[in-house]
Structure 1
Amino acid sequence: MNENFKLLNKKIKILHLIQHMKIGGGQKALTNIISSTSISFEHVVVSTFNQYESELNKLNSSFIDCEKKNILKIIREEAPDIIHYHWWPGFKMIPKNKIPHNCGIIVTVQDPTPVEDIQADIYISGSNFINLFQKHIDGKKRIVIKSYIDVREFTLKKKKNTEIIIGRHSTIYKNKIPENYIKTLLDFSLKAKFIIAGDGESKIIEKLNLEIIKNNAQNKIEIWPGEKIKEMLSICDIFLYITPDDSFEGFANVISEAMVAGIPVIAENKGGNSEQIIHGKTGFLCTGYNEARDFCQLLIEDRILRLKMGGNSKKRGLTFDHTIMGKQYDQIYTNLVKLNNKEKQ
């Protein structure tokens, strides 16, 4: 065991507070943190919904529904060593001086919006892009730990197709899918089949399917459930990730996952996408639908370039391994507990 953990003489209890444990990138980032950190930590997730129950069980992490129990009461009863907020706009955090227990406070920010300053011990941005929006926080309290994934999960055996597949997966919410997305894809007039995989709001999924039927595009575009994401990636030739104009990804898990699967990625040159995609080598960064269409056409026509970019994409994607992220969180958790113990003495 690491010497840092020997000094602590006990498991460190981390109380993770997050707005909702519904299917989403921020929630997946939380479980990636838990799965990548040392066994010297005890993780307790405090949230609502819990659509990640089976995953948390596999990680030996407990769950507390804060809709049924007051958060301050939970903190008193659990007496954590560290409270780790996984902040998203709209989630109200408790200022450190209001916490009814002496412990370290960490805030991880996965959204490019200025986070509330609650005088936490440390603020962690999930990308350099997100960190640009946190300059109101004391620079000594801010660091960047990029939101990495379990690369083993997306190292997939590729399958051959008789047609080009342009895939995409994400949570299917309003802030992820552009308006008139089906019409946009059809207007591309590409010799390829589109597959959109993911779970989310049933009304939006139903609307997408109705638009496909309305345009007689059942053989051109398909909507697959989230359970088939890996199957989609295993047959995907090109990964096209377009989001609404006002939606900015900090460090998109889905892009990393597609890269690890060996797929060239086309995404808009905004948010943290340029921290993942190397333009012209692992895929393309585009501005607007016309460029996205042209880059897709280029990769459809040039098989050698498509395969070369897919290989480059995989190599780069493998550097986004969550074990790298886990070691960084291990050190932060340990240092914060040791510092807090000194202050108590």
Structure 2
Amino acid sequence: MIKKRIKLVHVVTTLCTGGMENGIVNLCNRHDRKKFEVAICCLKSKGNMVNRLRKDVSVFSLGLPEGKPVFHPIKVAKLFKLIRPDIVHTHGLAGGSYVGILAAKLSKVPVIINGEHGSFFLKPHQVFLQRFLSHLTDVTLSVSDSLRKEISKKLKIPSWKIKVIRNGVDTNIFSGNYPKHIIRKEIAQNHDVIIDDNSFVLGNVASLKPEKNQKMILEAVKLLNDKYPGNKKNIKVLLVGDGPDRVMLKSLASKYGIEKQVAFLGVRDDVPKLFSIMDVMILSSVSFHEGLSNVLLEAMSSGVPVIATNSVGTSEVVKDGKTGFIIQAGDVDKLCKKIEILQRNPEIREQMSYYSRKWIHSRFSIKNMVNGYESLYIKTLERKRNL
């Protein structure tokens, strides 16, 4: 039985806007303070999402440079020796697991946990490194059963060592119950895209980068405009996020003649309100990139039907034909057909909205997620101390 508070440190590269980072912030803010003392170690910089953290979450920003990564674990180990965590929780190779796991070993942290959230690295030396690191951890975490199978298959980590804790969403915040006219007015004023009661609004919430594949959405809108010229007035697209593909996507919108239909909203802190004006949320990511998309959970909790590509964890969230549609990544024609179905059949949208909310509330609450992590932390630490 653990009597004193557990010192828990999450290790990430940075807390810039992203799905994984959003999940870490949500988790840290909701840990039971009677049981846990929570800190985050940002290997590079804090990032903008640090502003969402509770004041009692300690944040260490180390500013590690890009070069000479071989020395980074030594620097992080010095921090761990100073704050003496009971548990270090890293978040995949892209999130700095190499540095965090080795630093935890060097400083003799009792429990080391690594979570995989989606895409992992498959070059031979990267696979070797991830396999090696898995032998240094007490638990490997996955956010979905599908991702667990991929990790076991591609990284050769025994499936018994991989535990699944699914992402969760705050269903009170992502309710879809926000005034539409205020958001519509702001978008018209700041982005010159007019949305009214006759509009059919497609949304995408993601970083603008190749693996998120927003190009697919713009191509679908062009095809729908060509097929039904009236769509030029009715279909509107909200791209929520920023990234390296922004210039390319804006150029593509101009090339397709749909620039008055597409609003590039950038990074926003009012995503729950934006869902209230969407008719459909599209997840266009390439296959195997998403472990279990937070955005899908948020949209469905808000009552927004989804069209999602068949990434690793999609089928565990979206019930095809009931809460939304699942399509092959890159299949623009199929995306067009599913958009048409939802645009022309409001009764189907209403049914999907109802079942989406019901499904998410019953299976993917943030309370279930937090309880899952806390139970794992406590049981793993107790087991290690009893060895």
Would you call these one fold, judging by a TM-score over 0.5? yes
Match of 1:185 in 2: 221
Q: Within 2, Cα distance between the matches of 1:150 and 1:210?
A: 36
Secondary structure of the residue aligned to 1:243 is coil
Letter in 2 for 1:188: L
Does the alignment pair 1:74 with 2:68? no
Deviation at 1:263, TM superposition (A): 0.9
The separation in 1 between residues aligned to 2:137 and 2:266, in whole angstroms, is 39
Kindly indicate whether the alpha-carbon contact (under 8 Å) linking 1:149 and 1:320 is maintained by their aligned counterparts in 2: yes
Q: What is the distance in 2 between the residues matched to 1:251 and 1:9?
A: 34
Once the 2 structures are TM-superposed, how far is the Cα of residue 284 of structure 1 from its aligned partner? Answer: 0.8
**Compared CA separation, residues 105 and 219, structure 1 to 2 (3 A):** same
Matched, 1:316 2:359: yes
Moved more, 206-215 or 22-31: 206-215
- Partner of residue 123, structure 2: none
Query: Paired residue for 2:37?
Result: 42
Looking at structure 1, the residues matched to 381 and 345 of structure 2 have their Cα atoms a distance apart, in angstroms, of 54
SS of alignment partner, residue 250 of structure 1: coil
The aligned counterpart of 2:52 is 55
Cα distance change on mapping 1:199 and 1:179 into 2, 3 Å: closer
Aligned partner of 1:12 in structure 2 is: 6
Of 87, 100, 103, the match for 2:92: 87
5+ unaligned residues in a row in structure 1: which ranges?
1-6
For structure 2, the 5+ residue unaligned runs are: 65-71, 121-126, 181-195
Structure 2 distance, partners of 1:332, 1:311, is: 33
Which residue number in structure 2 is paired with residue 332 of structure 1?
376
1:157-236 paired onto structure 2 within 5 Å: 157=177, 159=180, 161-179=197-215, 181-189=217-225, 191=231, 192-201=234-243, 203-227=244-268, 228-236=270-278
Q: Give 3-state SS (helix, strand or coil) of 2:343's partner.
A: helix
Please give the alpha-carbon distance, in whole angstroms, between the structure 2 residues aligned to 1:120 and 1:299.
46
Q: Name which of structure 1's ranges 12-21 and 150-159 shifts more when overlaid on structure 2.
A: 150-159
Distance in 1, matches of 2:114 and 2:386, equals 21
Q: How does 1:257-272 map to 2 (within 5 A)?
A: 257-272=298-313
Relative to structure 1, the CA distance from residue 184 to residue 164 in structure 2 (aligned partners, 3 Å threshold; closer, same or farther) is closer
SS at match of 2:46: coil
Residue 143 (structure 2) aligned to one of 106, 126, 130: 126
Other structure's SS at 2:150 match? coil
Distance between the aligned counterparts of 1:215 and 1:232, measured in 2? Answer: 25
Residue 78 of structure 2 aligns to a residue whose secondary structure is: helix
The amino acid of 1:99's aligned partner reads: L
Q: What one-letter code is carried by the residue in structure 2 that aligns with 1:261?
A: S
Of 350, 355, 362 in structure 2, the residue corresponding to residue 307 of structure 1 is 350
1:109 equivalent to 2:151? Answer: no
8 A contact 1:264–1:282 mirrored in 2: yes
Aligned residue type for 2:201: I
Q: Which residue of 2 aligns with 1:148?
A: 168
Change in 2 beyond 3 A, CA 1:46/1:231? same
CA 1:172–1:247 in structure 2 vs 1: closer, same or farther (change >3 Å)? farther
Deviation at 1:36, TM superposition (A): 3.5
Shift of 1:96: 8.1
Q: Relative CO higher for 1 or 2, CA cutoff 8 Å, sep ≥ 6?
A: 1
Q: Separation in 1 of the partners of 2:235 and 2:105?
A: 54
Alpha-carbon distance between aligned partners in 2 of 1:180 and 1:265, rounded to the nearest angstrom? 15
Secondary structure in structure 1 of the residue aligned to 2:210: coil
**TM-score, length basis structure 1:** 0.88
8 Å CA contact 1:87, 1:109 repeated in 2 = yes
Partners of 2:248 and 2:141 lie apart in 1 by 37
- 2:378 maps to 1:342: no
Residue 26 of structure 1 corresponds to which residue in structure 2?
20
Query: Counterpart of 2:304 in 1: which secondary structure?
Result: coil
Inter-partner Cα distance in structure 2 for 1:193 and 1:265 = 16
State, as a whole percentage, how many aligned pairs show the same letter: 21
- SS for the counterpart of 2:312 is coil
TM-score (norm 2): 0.79
Counterpart residue type for residue 340 of structure 1? K
Contact 1:197 1:229 in 2 (8 A): no
Alpha-carbon distance in 2 for matches of 1:333, 1:248: 27
Q: Structure 1 counterpart of 2:62, which letter?
A: C
- Correspondence for 2:332: 289
- For residue 305 of structure 1, report the CA deviation from its aligned partner: 1.1
- Which one has a larger percent helix, Structure 1 or Structure 2? 2
* Alpha-carbon separation, structure 2, partners of 1:330 and 1:233: 30
Partner Cα separation in structure 1 for residue 82 and residue 283 of structure 2:
44
